[in-house]
Amino acid sequence: MRDRAWIFIGLAAFLALALAPVWQSALHGAARKPEPKIVTKAKQCVEPTAEMRRNHMELLNAWRDTVVRRGQRTYLAADGKTVTMSLSGTCMSCHPNKKEFCDACHNYLAVSPYCWECHIEPKEKS
Amino acid sequence: MRVVWSLLLVGVLALIAFFGAQAGGQALFGIVLPYLAMAVFLVGVAARVVGWARSTVPFRIPTTCGQERSLPWIKPASLDNPSTGLGAAARVLLEVFTFRSLFRNNRSELREGGRFTFSADKWLWAAALAFHYSFLVVFLRHYRFFAEPVPAVVAWIQGLDGFFQVGLPVVYVSDIVLVAALGYLLWRRLADARLRYISLHADYFPLALILGVALSGVLLRYFSKADIVAVKELAIGLVSFHPAVPKGIDPLVFVHIFLVSVLLTYFPFSKLVHMAGVFLSPTRNLANDNRMHRHVNPWNPPIVGHTYAEWEQEFHDKLVASGIPLDKE
Ligand code: HEM
């Protein structure tokens, strides 16, 4: 009776909220998908690209543990190459454009690795 | 054995999506079914709510756990037994946010030596609270797949949720709590013979299904990592109505999405609609003011009164003839 108005207001609010992503995409237009920019002349990453794309954080985690806990600094990649396990020293030497590379993907998915609180970011023009 | 069937059913659904997506059903599991499920969910929940709104509530149900408002020197329990609309709204919100009615859960047991005991049992309340809040956090965090730019709140929630910074990708506390709470809620129904006896498929299936969704999600994040940049493309395509399945989406993602679609479709027809229903529980949302206001039953026929004066008028002559004294005069 008297309360019906409240129920319908609540229902309308729920439906509006449930479709929030639709309104947001209508307002902001179609989202651009990130295109991480490769600037190095190297042909290959440490591991195959598809592998890196999904698993780079696990690789970094393994590197961190191996260096900090076991004191080993050399990584043997699947293809037999060896690289020094270092975030700033290795990854960022081939990918010095953090803003256009790492952050391009990370901002898209609101990932914000806390590594840079300690590790040095490559200097870039913003 | 009902629990086994529910778990099996969820397992079969997962396998259907896993192999179906690899056999070329990507558009089906990634686009068609999610759209259908969302439509069924929204229309279904709305239809249930409209149905409830149209049914008449004849009388305020005074099932309460506190002192009713009466004489000025008796202290009323204004939240447990509210006499105003505002108090009733507060009672509903407290129920929604803190599950007070589960807090009152009791356990009665026949102990050794024939002793019958009653005791408070807070485990159901604690596990239900843990489950619902972790689900909410996981749900809100998922907003990052559907919005560009991602709202700042979502980033804060992620930061708080990953506070302990264990491993990479950072372990979310809500994932652990969600799976643990679901596990307890399922175990609870199985451990007690009486509870097992009254538990139906309708009780096990939602638990098993949500467990399936959560476990496939956990697998995706921590173990068999998916290319979630591609997943976001898919999700954005869905919400902007330009659906397309990008390359490189793992079959496990389709399992996750399919189980969510099943959950959404099942939602309006099952006990899960309590999400909308809590707000409309008559024992929570009606103020107990039966003794302060007259509540007229809306379907009562209009009462045709016949006062003494009218009666006297009707039989006036007969009354006079038999010498009965009249009020009038
Ligand atoms: C009721 C709805 C859902 C529930 C309860 C749920 C649950 C979960 C859980 C518990 C995780 C583990 C990681 C985390 O917490 O972030 C997860 C991950 C994930 N979910 Fe869901 N999910 C739901 C809906 C969806 C939908 C609709 C999508 C489609 C876009 C989706 C895509 C994913 C992906 C891609 C991951 C992996 C995330 C990562 O690697 O960080 N989920 N889900």
CB-CB contact of A33 with B234 (8 Å): no
The mean predicted confidence, pLDDT, of chain B is 91
Residue B167, sorted as left (phi over 0), alpha (psi -120 to 50) or beta, turns out to be: left
Residue B79 is given by DSSP the state T
The DSSP secondary structure of A17-46, one letter per residue, reads HHTHHHHHHHHH-SPPPP-PPP--S-S--S
CB-CB contact of A36 with A106 (8 Å): no
Please state the pTM of the whole predicted model. Answer: 0.91
Q: Is residue A12 part of a domain?
A: no
What ipTM was estimated for this complex?
Answer: 0.90
> Ligand 1: distance of its center to the CA of B16 in Å?
19
Which domains, ranges and CATH numbers included, belong to chain B? Answer: 2-322 (1.20.950.20)
Q: Is residue A19 part of a domain?
A: no
Q: What is the pLDDT of residues B70-120, one digit of tens each?
A: 899 999 888 888 988 899 999 999 999 999 999 998 888 888 888 898 888
Report d(CA B102, CA B242) in Å as an integer.
Answer: 44
CB-CB contact of B211 with B186 (8 Å): yes
CB-CB contact of B170 with B127 (8 Å): no
Inter-chain contacts counted by CB atoms under 8 A, chains A and B: 93
Please count the other Cβ atoms lying within 10 Å of the Cβ belonging to residue B253.
25
Show the ligand 1 pocket: residues with CB < 6 angstroms. B 135, 138-139, 141-142, 145, 169, 172, 175, 178, 213-214, 217-218, 220-221, 226, 228, 231, 235, 253, 256-257, 260, 263
> Ligand 1: distance of its center to the CA of B217 in Å?
5
> From the alpha carbon of B225, which atom of ligand 1 is closest?
40
Task: Determine if the peptide bond prior to B149 is cis (ω within 30°).
Answer: yes
What pLDDT does residue A113 have?
Answer: 92
Where in the sequence is the domain holding A106, given as residue range(s)?
A: 49-117
A14 and B45 within 8 Å at the Cβ level: the answer is yes
What pLDDT does residue B327 have?
Answer: 84
> Ligand 1: distance of its center to the CA of B100 in Å?
29
- Residues of A whose CB is below 8 A from B146: 21, 24
Q: Is residue A4 part of a domain?
A: no
- Residues of B whose CB is below 8 A from A112: 155, 159
A85 Cβ contact list (under 8 Å, min separation 6)? A63, A66, A67, A72, A73, A74, A75
Report d(CA A74, CA A65) in Å as an integer.
Answer: 12
The mean predicted confidence, pLDDT, of chain A is 89
- Residues of B whose CB is below 8 A from A60: 168
How many domains does chain A fold into? 1
